[in-house]
Amino acid sequence: MTLPDGVWEDEEVTVDEAYQVKTRVHPAVRVYGAFRSTVLTLGAILGVASILTFGVSLLFGVRPLVVVSGSMEPTIPVGSVVFSAQTAAGEIQEGTVVTVDRPRNLGLVTHRLVKSVETAPDTYEYTLKGDANSKEDPEPYKVKTVGKYVWHVVALGYLAEFLQSRNGTVIAIGASLALIALFILDPARLTNRSAGRRRATAMTDEGEDQISDESRS
């Protein structure tokens, strides 16, 4: 029988013992296993966080918005993602950060409520001001419902905008495929397959040696 590295010729070893010596885990396999475990764990955490965020958004009507101006700094830096929940305008207290539609469909604005005046049943006129601005917004906002600030995540908006770009989409797809590949290429499974082939070879070698010994006798 051909002995594996680490077994002396005068040693008496069984097939199982020789198999164990031949199937010692290579250091590179251990490094890959640790790397794979770390990446998959981080991917799982990110996936769970994304699912929870999406679920909470649907359940409580929370809407994410990317901050593109510095009018609310330092409270809410540029590039942050603000999460706001749709709330009746009459329930908002002065001093609360809210998101409302700009007049003439000019987009959204997230500023702090300075004054609220009810102009009709369930309809209010808001005066807003950005924390970084020296003056109030030039014209009031007529609202029935507004987005009430819940929380924000600093710099997440930059990532969101990047992922919406062409390069970001390509990288996101590549990262997803890499995670799938890491999940499939389990080092333990690969080692077991290789070990099975080596064990079969060891048993074949032992059988051939036995036949040779019987022939000589």
Helix (H) or strand (E) holding 152: strand 145-153
Q: Is residue 11's pLDDT more than 80?
A: no
**Which pLDDT score, from 0 to 100, does residue 198 have?**
54
**Which pLDDT score, from 0 to 100, does residue 115 have?**
97
Length of the chain: 217
141 neighbors 101 (Cβ within 8 angstroms) = yes
User: 3-state class of 58 per DSSP?
Assistant: helix
Kindly tell me the burial class for residue 165, based on how many C-beta atoms sit within 10 Å of its own C-beta (0-12, 13-18, 19 or more): exposed
Q: What is the mean pLDDT of the chain?
A: 81
Helix (H) or strand (E) holding 85: strand 81-88
The 10s digit of each residue's pLDDT in 137-185 is: 999 999 999 999 999 999 999 988 898 899 989 998 998 898 888 888 8
Residue recorded with tokens 């080092």:
187
Name the CATH topology of 63-154.
Umud Fragment, subunit A (2.10.109)
Q: Where are the domains of the chain?
A: 14-60+156-191, 63-154
Cα angle: 9, vertex 15, 19; to 5 degrees: 90
Q: What is the pTM of this model?
A: 0.63
The 10s digit of each residue's pLDDT in 76-95 is: 999 999 999 999 999 999 99
